Amino acid sequence: MSDPYTIQEHESFDRGTLHQADFEELKIHASKSPVLQRTASGGVAAANYVGILTTRRGTVVEILPKIDLGSEADSNYETTRRLFLRMLRCWRRFEKVPKLPESGIRAVRRFPMLEVFVRQFLDGLNTLTRGGLARRYIPVEQNLPYLRGRLLFRDQIRENLVNRARFYVAHGELSVNRPANRLIHSALARLKLLVRYTENRRLLRLLGQLMEVAEVPQAANPRADWQRHRVDRSMPHYGPVMQWVGLFLFGHGLATYSGRYRNLSLLFPMERVFEDFVAHSFRRWQSGYRVAAQSPQKPLARIENQPAFMMKPDISLRKGDRVAFILDAKWKEIDTLSEDPKHGINQDDLYQLYAYAKGNGCDTVALVYPQTQAFTSALRYRLLDDVTLLCLPFDVASPETSIESSIRTLEA
């Protein structure tokens, strides 16, 4: 099993390092999925999706975000991985998955993200099995030497007309052979081929043996079992574990490859992860404003009195019923050191923020970008009708400081 191949956003894959079969497979995926992109030279590059993906050969590719750490050395991407995992804890689609604790992030930041996610799943499953696997009654028909359940008269006459010491009966039998358990076993088997971290491999082996001893088969038809499985009131502890199972087997809620070969991929859109991290940081590190995400939602236009083209700001800061400020988070590097007065800002974003301002009676709006060495202090633009547009730097390594600075700039 080869070591994971690590790359950052927008970097090109190295033909000389990747196996030729892996490289050709990634080229095919780049033509079908937005998570990768073709380069002008005929190669393949990462886009703005971050996480892990695997090839049919079992190669694990780790794509990390491009975070400007200044002069700080980042050997083996430890700091980058730690910061991304911290951001990922705030992602809205991880609401039902147990949050990775800060101590856990520090402990596993040296390992590829796949190992981090697998460890979360295994820890949850280990806790689940201590409480016992969920069972259900399944209907069983048997010819027994004693009466149990309900006697089936027609089969009794057919089978036991001569031997009246036996009873052909139907009864319910408690069994662990249910869809959720079969799916868990299938997820363990799939991960066994990809995991390298010693402790994860040990837990995979132990939990796989437990499933075999309990006589839980793997899912013969995983998608059918996923449709049938239910986390009912008798098994609420299954909820978080089944969220991971859905991610590992089907990539539910994440960016996945399409086509004949659907390999394991857990790829997160950095634009959305950054947006949720900024919103979470404003909620946590300031108390002067009420924070609302994707709100307020208002129509930009109407046709025959029907609303159309809804406006949904990333973040709004409210004082009572009034929208004080509207912010949009953009995972994009801008350059305030350039002589171009646009500094790399997308003009369409200005149009959008202007519409938000006019639609909500707000005279100050802001674009929030990641802080880099080329963008360390706020920019201030004056839009039409005295609307102020701010461009705010956000340091993902120091969100508390960034929030304090942003509030001061917004209120200035």
The two structure tokens encoding residue 307: 């609303």
Shared domain check, 25 and 142: no
Q: Does residue 280 sit in helix, strand or coil?
A: helix
Q: 335 with 359, same domain?
A: yes
Residues 407 and 373 grouped into a single domain: yes
Task: Identify whether residues 125 and 143 lie together within a single domain.
Answer: no
In a domain, 296, yes or no: yes
Per-residue pLDDT tens digits for 266-282: 888 999 999 999 999 99
- In tens, the pLDDT along 350-401 reads 999 999 999 999 999 999 999 999 999 999 999 988 899 999 999 999 999 9
Q: Is residue 156 part of a domain?
A: yes
Report how far residue 382's alpha carbon sits from residue 107's, in angstroms, rounded to the nearest whole number: 47
Q: Does 121 fall in a domain?
A: yes
Same domain, 57 and 145: no
Instruction: Provide the domain count of the chain.
Output: 3
If asked whether residues 26 and 124 sit together in one domain, one would say yes
Tell me how many degrees the CA angle 75-80-84 measures, rounded to the nearest 5: 155
Place of tokens 């005929």: 42
Would 161 be classed as within a structural domain? yes
Same domain? 124 vs 158: no
Among 148-152, 293-297, 306-310, the range scoring the smallest mean pLDDT is 148-152
Evaluate whether residue 300 is within a structural domain. Answer: yes
Domain assignment present for 276:
no
Query: Is residue 85 domain-shared with residue 157, that is, in the same domain?
Result: no
The beta strands (E) that lie in 66-166 are given as 136-144, 150-151
Residue 198 resides in a domain: no
Is the domain of 32 the same as that of 165?
no
Instruction: Specify whether the CB–CB gap between 351 and 322 falls below 8 A.
Output: no
Same domain, 100 and 155: no
**Mean pLDDT, to the nearest integer, of 23-40?**
87
* Residues 382, 388 contacting (CB under 8 angstroms): yes
Whole-angstrom Cα distance, residue 354 to residue 351?
Answer: 5
* Element spanning 369, H or E: strand 364-370
Same-domain check for residues 256 and 370 = no
Residues shown for the chain: 412
Same domain, residue pair 248 and 126: yes
Q: What is the pLDDT of residues 64-106, one digit of tens each?
A: 999 999 888 787 888 898 899 889 888 877 665 555 666 655 6
Taking Cα atoms as reference points, which of 133, 5, 23 lies closest to residue 60? 5
Distance in angstroms (rounded) separating the CA atoms of residues 27 and 120: 31
Question: At CA 18, angle to CA 16 and CA 24, rounded to 5?
Answer: 105
Six-digit token pair at 305? 């009195």
Q: What residues form DSSP beta bridges with 63?
A: 7, 51
Domain contains 277 = no
Domain that holds residue 49: 5-130+238-269
Q: How many other C-beta atoms lie within 10 A of the C-beta of residue 360?
A: 19
Do strands 306-311 and 298-303 pair parallel, antiparallel, or not at all (unpaired)? antiparallel
Nearest to 248 by CA among 326, 298, 193, 314: 193
Is the whole-model pTM more than 0.85?
no
